[in-house]
Structure 1
């Protein structure tokens, strides 16, 4: 951002107005991103420049089972960037996916596994944080043979991946059945998609569209592409459509719900089943809430859509801003089909301790101490602290003990009891006669994070205290 001052004079008084002008920073610089000059600017091994099946211009790169590498300049240290590229499968073997991975400065930031061979995929990209003003990009094949991906228009751009669409809680449809809740925007995937003939993010075919970008109404496809199954053969439990998160490779979808109660627990639920095709191996997936993994999924050959759709319920937490970004991903990298989803909903309420524990990636045991700071996870839950980052217990400051209390924990029926002692043998509840401790104020409440302020009695020569979890 650039501030340009302008000076105005009136009645012998000078006023300085600051004009705010946005300055767009140029994307990092690379050489020959579309291979129109052959391999100029790239180091490589076992690749080939081709002039058929190109994405843009007159040439593209056949990665085969080799690699390409180039150092880009002009990055902003500490800022988010993304690798963008166009790719398509170029194997002659039906039902075989091509595989490659993307590295920045030797660290893997993503992988592509896809079998789409009709046209190029141009997904959102692969995020990373620049450690300096330069970055070495390497794309290497994971295929053993001489066939693999075709690549074109490889770039590094400023900024992270585009965010998913946002939908206010009040706009979601209320479902009045035994399961209840509100269905996510296009949560049963019935909304019409645009035509493959007019939408570059819809590769078709008609009746079985494979989608990327924003081609699935209400959602952003976050990885690869997905398969919208429009036939009744998938036996969708709601409506006539369902989503297979592996279009031609492991895809994902996301949307964000806004205007939720900040920090509150909700229950995400959906129906899911295994695709009937693609062999008999298990199919797997993951669920993320506000970019934290909250569930790993498996559907076996005995759990296909021909048997029944299972119901999955996951307690999740809204952010402090009252937002919840929900993402479902396929993690099956060697099959073109995956778990099929339908009827995705969100209900207020749920198991707050489990949601908190899952969000932080710790055991839900109240006595566990994952960060080894002597504060059990149950107390960390009550304090609202991070159970994976060592935390100091509340200490006396200026004669006052300030104890944070989580509104989420209180809404779940948990509470905090402060107890005092002068000899470590006899313990009294704080604020009771003879305890030597007075409660000054309490701003906490169920659903409202606050703090309790205590003060030791004047002239108290020695007083110890400890915090005790009170479970519902």
Structure 2
């Protein structure tokens, strides 16, 4: 497993960071509207956002596939650097079988564009861990979430004490206001000059109804 100079076209988007770094969890179930997020009754599914668990394409068990800038896998496109799509059994996934190391040979970024309604507020929820191979530094894996090229949340994860069997995933959230009929969500590593980076999985995007996220 392998820094990016993320150069995405910036589109103004209002963003509100949900307080807190998330709740530690071992092997979360894939559900909509978890206890750690807004009430399920205040959220609705987002059109066309897909494969937040990085299940496509299937990677050979106990291995990983590297994808470079300009390549796509499922609905995700690598927008800078390179990333590793992790197959079943290589290490613990937060949901399903596969997950994504945001560092391939070096730091990378992935994006997905989905339908939104201008002026509506959306909540992105995801599971965060880090590549636990401790022979590779640094132990603190860092990255950021971008909406239409705007940095809306930085994140970090310390892999000290973590193993492939116990990744120590935490849930994180960030909320943004869409500015147009489509929005591009990006996860980018800022762990430079390292083949081991932050790991993301179980990404969901939900539209807030008027009584939530205030």
Give secondary structure in 1 for the equivalent of 2:51. Answer: coil
Give secondary structure in 1 for the equivalent of 2:79. Answer: strand
Instruction: Name stretches of at least 5 consecutive residues in structure 1 with no aligned partner.
Output: 1-94, 100-109, 112-124, 128-159, 161-173, 195-203, 351-410, 414-471
Shift of residue 214 of structure 1?
A: 3.0
Give secondary structure in 2 for the equivalent of 1:316. Answer: strand
Give the TM-score, by structure 1 length.
Answer: 0.34
Deviations 1:187-232 (A, max 9, x none): 11111269xxxxxxxxx9x931101223311011011111011032
Residue-pair matches, total: 179
Matched ranges for 1:182-201 at <5 A: 182=45, 184-192=49-57
Instruction: Name stretches of at least 5 consecutive residues in structure 2 with no aligned partner.
Output: 10-29
Find 1:310's aligned residue among 170, 185, 189. Answer: 170
Please identify runs of 4+ aligned residues in structure 1 that moved more than 6 A.
none
Q: Distance in 2 between matches of 1:242 and 1:270?
A: 11
Shift of residue 323 of structure 1?
A: 2.0
Find 1:337's aligned residue among 191, 196, 200. Answer: 196
Give the TM-score, by structure 2 length.
Answer: 0.71
Matched ranges for 1:226-245 at <5 A: 226-245=83-102
Q: What's 2:103 paired with?
A: 246
Matched ranges for 1:59-458 at <5 A: 175-176=31-32, 178=34, 182=45, 184-192=49-57, 207-212=63-68, 213-258=70-115, 260-277=116-133, 278-279=136-137, 281-302=139-160, 304=162, 306-319=166-179, 321-349=180-208, 411=210
The alignment yields a C-alpha RMSD, in angstroms, of 3.4
Q: Distance in 2 between matches of 1:303 and 1:296?
A: 22
Deviations 1:287-334 (A, max 9, x none): 001211000010002474624210001011111x23221000000112
Q: Distance in 1 between matches of 2:75 and 2:161?
A: 28
Shift of residue 255 of structure 1?
A: 0.8
Q: Distance in 2 between matches of 1:307 and 1:270?
A: 14
User: Any conservation in 2 of the 1:188–1:241 contact (CA below 8 Å)?
Assistant: yes
- Highest relative contact order (Cα 8 Å, sep 6+), 1 or 2? 2
Q: As a proportion of its length, which structure holds more helix?
A: 1
